[in-house]
Structure 1
Amino acid sequence: MTYTGYLQLKVEKKQNRSVISNSFFDGVLKITRPTYLPEGLPLLTLIHVGGGYVDGDSYRTEVVVDEGAKLALTSQASTKIYKSPRFGVTQKMDYFLKNNSELYVKQDSLIPYKDAKFSQQTNVYMESTSTFYYTDVVTPGWSEDGKLFQYEKVASKMKIFIDGRLQVFDHQLLVPDQNLHQFMQLEGYTHLGTFFMIHPHVNELLIEKIREALSSSIDARFGISLLNIPGLVLRVLANSTPVIERIFSVCETVIRKELDEKELIEWRKW
């Protein structure tokens, strides 16, 4: 199958340093050279040179983080989904985490415009000793008449396999025709954020510390839950992307301090 954009990465640990041992990209997807953060964490930025996703586009990303290696992966800017009523836009991402590896994925917001249709499948295959961090934000795109939620559908499925067994299945489906403002959907808010953290030492005490740190958050609603494996999921409803990003930043600060005694990852792009 030919993809609009294809990315393949492998990170290995060599002489106590995580290095990109293999990379291949094709179509409109590119990556920057790695920037090494103080703790030796390589940060890569994914670049889409096409400006946005259009009808019939398909994307595929495969990332392998070898034993003991670590990687931080982010996007250059928000992902814009334009009018795509016939075929829609599809994206599949597969992440493979070996023993004691770490993968941090922070995506800029997804912006579906009028008549956009987007489906994403994310599969994570990890060991119980590895760490997986993931965030995403969905925000309604601008329209000429100023009305919100004029896209057709945004569907996102997340499957996390640990030691070969499916442990987490999350299906996020946004269909404006089904009245997104109603109870148990967006409830009057416009932006939706999702945060996953899988780590061997996540527990209820950590979640309580995160709740306490977020207790002063305003103009947003959030829910945080312990998964049936050592991990947590956070959902945020808000009216702007910066509010959600600040909440994510608070969570990450608490997590890295309590679990790894490390500082917040510097995600800024230059």
Structure 2
Amino acid sequence: MSIHLSFQDNLFALKRLRLPTRYYHFRDEQNYIKLVSIGEGIFPKDRISTVVKLENSDLLLATESATKVYPSKKEFGINRIDIQLQASNLEYINDELILYKDAKFLQLLRIRADSESTFFYGDILSHGRSYEYFDFDTMAAKNSFYCDGRLEYLEKYTKSGENVKSYTQQSFNKHSLFAKIYVKTQDNEAFLERLEKECFTSFALSSNKEMLIGVISQNSMQALKSQLLAAWELYR
């Protein structure tokens, strides 16, 4: 199941739509696409692919609702996101990921950007359904970021629900909701200074200073999203 979106010189083309998803495209000062899922979520053996290709374009991409991942005895649900940016800007903010009890989930994210491109990408992890607390089986990810064809940052991990539960119980703030943010600007060091002045202290530069990686956490979804949106407003 897949969707492939493309913009060239800010002209939109839908290359493929083989997902139980509707999309809405608005064009004012910036292209804006909202993806609205009409499916029930990600099931075992599901393979979801999202491809976004921008050339000399500016896009804000958002999801309409949380992504639910259902229980599995063996197979992983897989979500693959492939983004290519050439002289473009992408702002992509996902709604929360809800991993049900015994869920198995793998995310494969790849962003390739040239030196002229910028991006703001955010993922949110919740503790599960209201009566669950990190009761999922396994969550794994491989997130890779390329700048001008060179690998700038690679993030790979596999976590069990018990790992995450133990971390939240032992950590000082005991927050149970998390957002991971990846940013590339035309001046990353200056943007890091702006973030720190606004009390965003958990951001850091990648090894070659080509991008920023940050984590924020809260105990309520409203507070977490407000903080994420505040960081996004600084980017904008």
Pair in the same fold by TM > 0.5 = yes
Give the aligned partner of residue 26 of structure 1: 18
Q: Distance in 2 between matches of 1:51 and 1:137?
A: 19
Give the aligned partner of residue 27 of structure 2: 36
Q: Find out whether 1:52 has 2:41 as its counterpart.
A: yes
Superposed displacement of residue 52, structure 1: 1.4
Give the aligned partner of residue 137 of structure 1: 124
Q: Distance in 2 between matches of 1:24 and 1:36?
A: 20
Q: Distance in 2 between matches of 1:176 and 1:186?
A: 15
* CA-to-aligned-CA distance 1:17-44 (integer Å, 9 cap, x gap): x120343201323322x1124xx21111
Which of 1 and 2 has greater Rg? 1
- Taking the TM superposition and a 5 Å limit, the aligned residue runs for 1:227-238 are 227=206, 228-238=208-218
Superposed displacement of residue 58, structure 1: 1.0
Any conservation in 1 of the 2:185–2:191 contact (CA below 8 Å)? Answer: no
Superposed displacement of residue 179, structure 1: 5.5
Per the normalisation by structure 2, the TM-score is 0.91
Q: Distance in 1 between matches of 2:19 and 2:4?
A: 12
Task: Please point out which of 4, 21, 31 is paired with 1:8.
Answer: 4
* One-letter amino acid of the structure 2 residue matched with residue 180 of structure 1: K
Any conservation in 2 of the 1:214–1:247 contact (CA below 8 Å)? Answer: no
* CA-to-aligned-CA distance 1:233-266 (integer Å, 9 cap, x gap): 110122122222111122122222xxxxxxxxxx
* One-letter amino acid of the structure 1 residue matched with residue 231 of structure 2: C
Task: Please point out which of 73, 76, 87 is paired with 1:85.
Answer: 73
Q: Secondary structure at the match of 1:148?
A: coil
Q: Distance in 1 between matches of 2:61 and 2:89?
A: 11
Give the aligned partner of residue 266 of structure 1: none
Greater shift, 169-178 or 118-127, is seen at 169-178
Q: Give the aligned CA root-mean-square deviation in angstroms.
A: 2.1
Any conservation in 1 of the 2:216–2:228 contact (CA below 8 Å)? Answer: no
Superposed displacement of residue 181, structure 1: 2.8
Q: Secondary structure at the match of 2:72?
A: coil
Q: Distance in 1 between matches of 2:23 and 2:160?
A: 32
* CA-to-aligned-CA distance 1:126-179 (integer Å, 9 cap, x gap): 101101110010001126xx3411111122221011111111112354312335
- Taking the TM superposition and a 5 Å limit, the aligned residue runs for 1:156-235 are 156-178=141-163, 180-182=165-167, 188-203=174-189, 205-214=190-199, 223-227=202-206, 228-235=208-215
Q: Distance in 1 between matches of 2:48 and 2:60?
A: 20
Per the normalisation by structure 1, the TM-score is 0.80
Any conservation in 1 of the 2:101–2:132 contact (CA below 8 Å)? Answer: no
Q: Distance in 2 between matches of 1:55 and 1:87?
A: 5
Q: Find out whether 1:101 has 2:88 as its counterpart.
A: yes
Q: Distance in 1 between matches of 2:112 and 2:217?
A: 28
Give the aligned partner of residue 114 of structure 1: 101
* Structure 1: tracts of 5 or more residues without a match: 216-221, 257-270
Q: Distance in 2 between matches of 1:125 and 1:153?
A: 27
Q: Distance in 1 between matches of 2:16 and 2:139?
A: 28
Superposed displacement of residue 186, structure 1: 6.0
Q: What is the aligned length? A: 234
Any conservation in 1 of the 2:101–2:135 contact (CA below 8 Å)? Answer: yes
Give the aligned partner of residue 229 of structure 2: 249
Cα 1:179–1:224 shift into 2, 3 Å: closer
Cα 1:147–1:52 shift into 2, 3 Å: closer
Q: Distance in 1 between matches of 2:84 and 2:167?
A: 37
Any conservation in 1 of the 2:26–2:32 contact (CA below 8 Å)? Answer: yes
* One-letter amino acid of the structure 2 residue matched with residue 9 of structure 1: L
Greater share of strand residues, 1 or 2?
2
